[in-house]
Structure formats: structure tokens, C-alpha cells
A and B are shown apart, each in its own frame.
Chain A
Amino acid sequence: DVKVTQSSRYLVKRTGEKVFLECVQDMDHENMFWYRQDPGLGLRLIYFSYDVKMKEKGDIPEGYSVSREKKERFSLILESASTNQTSMYLCASSPETSGRAAQYFGPGTRLTVT
């Protein structure tokens, strides 16, 4: 079974803090993704990575950065957390295939910025 883990289920941070969210997958997947989920808006893509050290902006990258130093690990960084970044953050991975590959998600991190 594919397993995607995230470092924390719940996190509370103060405005202005630097925040690291870690994601690890154990299936040797090439592609990894970070989404945020807000009520009524579904999931929105922040960043994705298709290889080590490679990254691409998603739909809402502002205020975020990412790091992928190893294939199995994809980190999301909030350089200076703000209250509007309070959200559920979901990490996903998928294999490098041409078509039908689903994305497999971790359990999510509920981040509150006060």
C-alpha cells in the first residue's frame, strides 16, 4: 500500500513565524504535491515537484516555498506565517506514468496561525 505521512496532524503557530510542513512517501513516486483545503473552495494546488530539486508553482504559491532534496521527502515552508494561511494542508504523491495514475494523499496537517 502507498503510504504518505505528514509530520504533524495539528499545528499552532504565531504570526511571523517560519513554519515547516514535512511530507514523506514510501513508494518511490516521482511526483509530489502540496495543496491547501478551505471550506467551500475544495483543494487548491500550492506547489508540486516532478523530480528531486525540481519544483513548479501551482495556483496559489504566494507566501509559500518548497524544498525537495530527496525523492521521498517534500517540504512546504511558510517563510512568515500569516493568519490567512490558517488552513488544512494536504500532501500527495503519484508515480510517473502517462495516464491513469491517481494521487495518494497523506492525512493532512491542520495549521492555525494566531
Chain B
Amino acid sequence: AQKITQTQPGMFVQEKEAVTLDCTYDTSDPSYGLFWYKQPSSGEMIFLIYQGSYDQQNATEGRYSLNFQKARKSANLVISASQLGDSAMYFCAMREVISSGSARQLTFGSGTQLTVLP
């Protein structure tokens, strides 16, 4: 069974500074994918970034980057130059392969509430 752990229930960062949100995972599958989502107070989950287990380089997407350390089973999200609009809940998730059918189930962590201070 897979498990995603986010140990920081809440984080604060000053506007324009960088922040790292931690995520560790546990899986016996050699092939897997890691995702980060942002959930503002409006409730909608917004896809941010993806990292595949066989990707040679860390994923980047604008101000978001993923610090992927496969041996340590960690996939931390780094947000550079924080903005007030970055205040939200952030979820780490892992995709597993389902033996039947083709759907790819995501397993989510419990989330980190990020607050950007002016």
C-alpha cells in the first residue's frame, strides 16, 4: 500500500521569499508519479507540477520546482518568490497502477496550509 506523509500542517513565509513544503512517500512500486496540487479557500484543486519516478531531472513549472530525492523517498515542493496569492492548502499525491482497468488512482497526503505574510 502506498502512503504519503506531509509533516507540516501549517507554514508561514514572508512575501518574496522562497518556501519548501515537505512530502515523503512510501511505495514498493518501481514506477510511480508524484503530483502537487494547490487548493485555495475557494475549494478547487489546482494541478501544479508532476514528477515521474524515472525522470532524470527535477520538475520545474514557473515558480514551482520539485526537489525529488528518490533514495530518500521525498518530493518536496519549492515555491520561489512567494506571492500573497500563494496562500492556500497544498497537497502532495502519488499515482499508483491499478491492476484492473486503466484508471490511475491518486493517493493524497493530509496537506500543508501555507500562509504568505505581507
Contacts and interface: CB of A to CB of B under 8 A. Distances in A.
Contact of B106 (A99, A103, A107, A110): A103
Nearest to B109: A42
Interface in B45-64: 45-47, 50, 52
Chain B residues touching A, majority SS: strand
Chain A residues touching B, majority SS: strand
A48 B105 contact: yes
A49 B35 CA distance: 20
Given A56-B101, A56-B103, A100 B43 contact: no
Nearest to B92: A42
- Size bracket, chain B contacts: 20 to 34
Interface in B85-118: 91, 93, 98, 100-111
Given A42-B110, A100-B52, A102-B35, A49 B44 contact: no
A48 B52 CA distance: 22
Contacts of A54: 101
A49 B100 CA distance: 11
A25 interface: no
Contacts of B108: 35, 42-44
B80 to A, nearest CB: 21
Interface of B: 4, 33, 35, 37, 42-47, 50, 52, 91, 93, 98, 100-111
Interface of A: 9, 30-31, 33, 35, 40-45, 48-51, 54, 56, 58, 88, 90, 92, 94, 96, 99-108, 110
Given A35-B108, A100-B52, A102-B47, 17 more contacts: A30-B102, A31-B102, A42-B91, A42-B109, A43-B93, A43-B106, A51-B101, A54-B101, A58-B105, A96-B102, A100-B33, A102-B35, A103-B35, A103-B47, A104-B47, A105-B46, A107-B44
